[in-house]
Every structure is written in C-alpha cells, then in structure tokens.
Chains A and B, each alone.
Chain A
Amino acid sequence: MSEPNAVAADPAIEFHNVVKRFLRHDRRDESFLAVDRLSFAVAPGEMIAVLGRTGCGKSTMFNLLAGLIEPTEGTVRVLGHDPFHEFNWYRGKLAVVFQNDRLLPWRTALANVELGIELLGKDEEERRVIALGWLERLGLKGHEHDYPHALSGGMRQRVSIARAFAVNPEILLCDEPFSALDELTGQRLREEYTQLVRENGKTSIFVTHSINEALQLGERILVFHRPARIALEARVAGGDREAIRQRVLEAMNPELAGVDDRERAA
C-alpha cells in the first residue's frame, strides 16, 4: 500500500501514533475520532502534499502541526519540539498560509506583510525593507499602501504568501491556499510558491483536495482516509506521474480500484 519512507534521521516534522478525539457538543459523553494513529515524518527541505476528501481530518492534522490543538494520544514533533506545549518556541520558525487570505482589514498590504516580522520585534526600518522586498517579489509593487478590500483575491493571497515568507520560517504550512482562486491565478501562484519554497530551502506541508495540485507541489504525497490515517504514501519526484495519479485516485476513491478509465468516465 505505501512506499518506504526515506526520511533523514532528524526529521523536521514527525507524527508518531497520533490520535485526536473531539468531544461531541451535542452528546458530551461521546467523542469523535478525527485522527487515528497517524504516523509520518518529513525531512528538512522536503515538500509534502497531504491529500484527502473533505472531512478526512487534514485540517485537524494541520492544527496539530501548528500547535493550535493538543493530541489526545501520541506525539507531534516539529523541529524536535512539541508545537502545542512549546508554542512560543516556534516564533519565527513556522508560518502558515491559510485557505483564505486572512489579511487584517485595517492594515495595508505592506503592514500585513510586516505583521509577522513586527511580532518578532524587528525594528521598523528592517521590517519595511523585508516586507517591500517580498511584495515586489510577488508582483505587488505599487500596491504596498492598498488596503485588502482594494485588492483582488489573487493579490490578497499573494500578500498572505509574502507575509508567511517574510518571517523566513524553517517550516511552511499551507491549508489549500489557492482553492478559492480562479484556475489561471491559482496555477500561477502554485508555480511561484513552488519556486519560492525550493529557492529558500523551506520544509513545506501543503494540504489540498486537488490531485493535480498535490502532484505539482509535493515531492511526496500522503493520501488521508477518514479518520485521518495514511491510505497511501507516494514519492512524486522522479516517478511516473500518470501512474502516481492513478494510484492516488484509487486511494482516494477505493470504490474505483480496478475500474478502467471508460467505466470511470461513465
């Protein structure tokens, strides 16, 4: 089912038998299993795409990784530390690009990009230089002083990417950041994102529900089944993309396994 995981001895990210249960609001004595004994590791500088259907626990995994929630069982280690209990240790080391741009509406594009650097305590001049550099790099020169409402969806998402890169994090977490954009803008931003991650040697986890996006962005793809556990782990780099696509498709839709293309199309 899965390929051997060739991850360095000191992984940047490691999930070990992670279980996450949520108490149900309507029935307090019952819990809902969102993540089921999830184990995987990501090497420093690796780009991983996490793929799965809606509700398969991708976002829960993402929140565990970002330290926003605590695992019920098992351990999560990011850069050798616990993201939930050592939350502040990750200041400047981890950045997130969310599904929607989440720009602060009262800040200009420039001030939004400066947010993370400002929280690192850098002085005004330094953060301005860094933020202007990232805005220019992402094609937003001339829009530095525009408020979010005056920017298009693609431009706003660029600002949010610039905001994440500006803190120069070691790890980048992306939660379907291009899913709300039109195909052309999404494609262009995917290319820019891949280039930036590779150029800057970042470790990246990219959550998506699009197979094409996963194939384009991931050096390795993890397919999740509900509750979050790995149904398939496939290395994309150097592999036969069509064969991988087929395997991913079947892992995501087990009922399609063994059905040929014509039947599937029907």
Chain B
Amino acid sequence: MTRSWYKLRKETVLALGGLMLAWQFASYFFPPYLFPPVPAIAQKFLAIFLDPESLANAGATAARIFAGLAVAFLLGVLLAFLMGRSERNYRYAYPLLNFIQGIPALSWVVIAIIWFKGTEPRILFIMVATTVAAFSFQILDAYRSMSKDLFEMTLSFRPSKRDLFRTLILPTIVPGMLTAWKVNLGNAARVVVVAELVGATGGIGYQLLQQQQLFDMAGALAWTLVLVVFVLIVQQVITKLEDWLLAYRPRAERST
C-alpha cells in the first residue's frame, strides 16, 4: 500500500511538473497575456493568500459552494427517501429530476437572473438546481442497494422506525452520501464560477472576470488554481472522513 501510494505521488509530481515545464517553455515564445511565466503565476497565487480582501473573495466562493451543496444535499436526501418509500413517488419524481439534470448550468444562470433579484439567492438557486438531482439519485441508489437479508435480520428484532433508520438505513447510505459529496463538489466548483461571473461582486468567478477584463492571464490562472486547490483539499477531507467512517471495511474495499 505504501509503495503504490509513493508510486502514485511520484507519477502525480512528474505529470504536474511536466505540465509546468511545458508551460514555462511556451512562455518563452508567446506574450505574457497568452502564456505568462510559471513564477509570475506562482507570485499571483501566493499574493491571493497574503491579501485579506482576496482571501475574503476565495472564502465567499467556498461559502457559496458549501451552502449550495448543503441545501441540495438536504433536498436530495428528502427526495431520495420519498422515492425510496413509494414506487408511485419514484415514477413521478424520476422524470422530473432527470429533466432537471439535463438542463445546462448556463440555462440555470439565465433563469436565475430573470427569477431572482439578489446575487446570493441567484447563486444558491443555480447551485441547488445543478446538483440536487445527482444527490437524489446517488442517495436513492445507496438506499436501494440496502441488503434485504440485513433488513429482514434487523426487522426480526422489531425495531422502531427511528431505530431502524439509526441502526441500518443510515450506515447503509453513508458511503453513497460521501461519494455524492465528492462528485458534486467538483460539479459545484465548476458551476459556482459560472454563477459568479454573472452579477456577483465578489468571489473567484468575479475575480476571474476582472482578470479577463485586464487581460491578466497570470491572475486568471492564479484564481483558477485557488479553486482547484480548494476542491482538492475538501476532497481529501472527505476521503479522510470516509476512511474513518468506513474503517470497518477491508482496506481494499475502501476508496483511495
């Protein structure tokens, strides 16, 4: 396990290092507004972390991602349980959620601008609309994959509904919930930037728009890196949480 982890890390470093070298190489042949040198990008990236106002912008985006995901998650859990409880509910909800899932993020942006006045409600709406269906389907899948044998066994002890949920249903769906968070985090990070590009006065998307207007490629890349680093950190946190919550599984069955 240690060996494969080391191998993976080495490969990651080589791949990312190769990309940086190629970029740096290109910067010798193209103007800085197309391919700024790697040190210039790094400098801008570090400057974001040293400037409280920039940090506040990054924090605003993180808060929007978490708020959007949290609301979408709660709605997704509710919809998944309604669908899981009755086939009739499922037959009504499935086509609706499937339809919602098919609407592009940019269409939601347009709809949000027309429907809502304030920036935050707009962004929250866009975040929820683009992730709620995925949360519902992933949690429903986890719920439906519950073992019939374990259900019968638990039922044979005559638990109350609350106890059945606590002792069987919740532990069964936890892995699905964590996977849903990991998948939707990436989607949410992509969508939040689009949402912030339109009408926001702060956040990573707004900063990207500023860099575009200034033709500052180094700044645009630095802000993009901030978002990528944020997503990677949160994904690592979820993976650690997963390792802790799913410690009962043989190591080979856990996600790495």
Which residues from chain A sit less than 8 Å from chain B, CB to CB?
66, 68, 87-88, 90-92, 94-96, 98, 100, 102, 104-108, 115-116, 118-119, 147, 149, 167
B250 within 8 A of A: yes
B1 within 8 A of A: no
Closest A residue to B246 by beta carbon equals A106
B3 within 8 A of A: no
Note all chain B residues with C-beta closer than 8 A to A118: 163, 167
Distance of A18 Cα from B19 Cα, bound (Å): 74
Main secondary structure of the interface of A (DSSP, over half): loop
Note all chain B residues with C-beta closer than 8 A to A167: 157
From B156, B167, B249, A66 is in contact (CB under 8 Å) with B156
Chain B, 150-170, CB within 8 A of any chain A CB: 150, 152-160, 163, 167-168
From B149, B167, B250, A102 is in contact (CB under 8 Å) with B149
Say how far A141's CB is from chain B's closest CB, in angstroms: 21
Question: Contact: A119 with B163, CB < 8 Å?
Answer: yes
Distance of A88 Cα from B157 Cα, bound (Å): 9
Say how far A188's CB is from chain B's closest CB, in angstroms: 23
Distance of A98 Cα from B167 Cα, bound (Å): 18
Note all chain B residues with C-beta closer than 8 A to A95: 156-157
B18 within 8 A of A: no
A-B CB proximity, top 5 nearest: A102-B153, A91-B158, A96-B156, A147-B248, A106-B248
Question: Contact: B150 with A102, CB < 8 Å?
Answer: yes
From A102, A106, A119, B158 is in contact (CB under 8 Å) with A119
Also in contact, A88 and B248, with CB within 8 A (given A104-B150, A104-B168, A119-B167):
no
Distance of A17 Cα from B246 Cα, bound (Å): 48
Distance of A248 Cα from B197 Cα, bound (Å): 80
Say how far B3's CB is from chain A's closest CB, in angstroms: 23
Q: Quick one: CB contact mask for B124-166 with A, threshold 8 Å, 1 for yes? A: 0000000000000000000000000110111111111001000
Say how far A58's CB is from chain B's closest CB, in angstroms: 15
Distance of A72 Cα from B152 Cα, bound (Å): 21
Question: Contact: B149 with A100, CB < 8 Å?
Answer: yes
B171 within 8 A of A: yes
Q: A98-B153, A105-B248 provided; 14 other pairs, C-beta below 8 A?
A: A66-B156, A68-B152, A68-B155, A87-B158, A88-B158, A91-B157, A92-B158, A95-B156, A95-B157, A96-B153, A102-B150, A104-B171, A106-B248, A119-B157
Note all chain B residues with C-beta closer than 8 A to A105: 248-249
Distance of A98 Cα from B157 Cα, bound (Å): 13
Question: Contact: A115 with B167, CB < 8 Å?
Answer: yes
Closest B residue to A167 by beta carbon equals B157
Closest A residue to B147 by beta carbon equals A102
Question: Contact: B149 with A98, CB < 8 Å?
Answer: yes
Say how far A28's CB is from chain B's closest CB, in angstroms: 15
Distance of A34 Cα from B55 Cα, bound (Å): 69
From A115, A116, A149, B249 is in contact (CB under 8 Å) with A149
Note all chain A residues with C-beta closer than 8 A to B249: 105, 149
* A-B contact list, 11 entries, CB within 8 Å: A88-B158, A102-B153, A104-B168, A108-B248, A115-B154, A115-B157, A115-B167, A118-B163, A118-B167, A119-B160, A149-B248
Distance of A115 Cα from B163 Cα, bound (Å): 10
Distance of A264 Cα from B158 Cα, bound (Å): 47
Note all chain A residues with C-beta closer than 8 A to B168: 104
Say how far B168's CB is from chain A's closest CB, in angstroms: 7
Note all chain B residues with C-beta closer than 8 A to A102: 149-150, 152-153
Say how far A107's CB is from chain B's closest CB, in angstroms: 7
Distance of A94 Cα from B168 Cα, bound (Å): 20
Also in contact, A119 and B159, with CB within 8 A (given A102-B150, A106-B171):
yes
Say how far A71's CB is from chain B's closest CB, in angstroms: 18
Closest B residue to A105 by beta carbon equals B248
Distance of A107 Cα from B149 Cα, bound (Å): 16
Question: Contact: A107 with B248, CB < 8 Å?
Answer: yes
Distance of A234 Cα from B152 Cα, bound (Å): 31
Distance of A91 Cα from B163 Cα, bound (Å): 13
Tell which of A92, A95, A102, A108 has the most Cβ of chain B within 10 Å. Answer: A102
Distance of A95 Cα from B152 Cα, bound (Å): 12
Note all chain B residues with C-beta closer than 8 A to A94: 156
Note all chain A residues with C-beta closer than 8 A to B160: 119
Say how far A63's CB is from chain B's closest CB, in angstroms: 8
Question: Contact: B157 with A116, CB < 8 Å?
Answer: yes
Tell which of A68, A105, A106 has the most Cβ of chain B within 10 Å. Answer: A106
Say how far A2's CB is from chain B's closest CB, in angstroms: 30
Distance of A167 Cα from B125 Cα, bound (Å): 50
Distance of A149 Cα from B249 Cα, bound (Å): 7
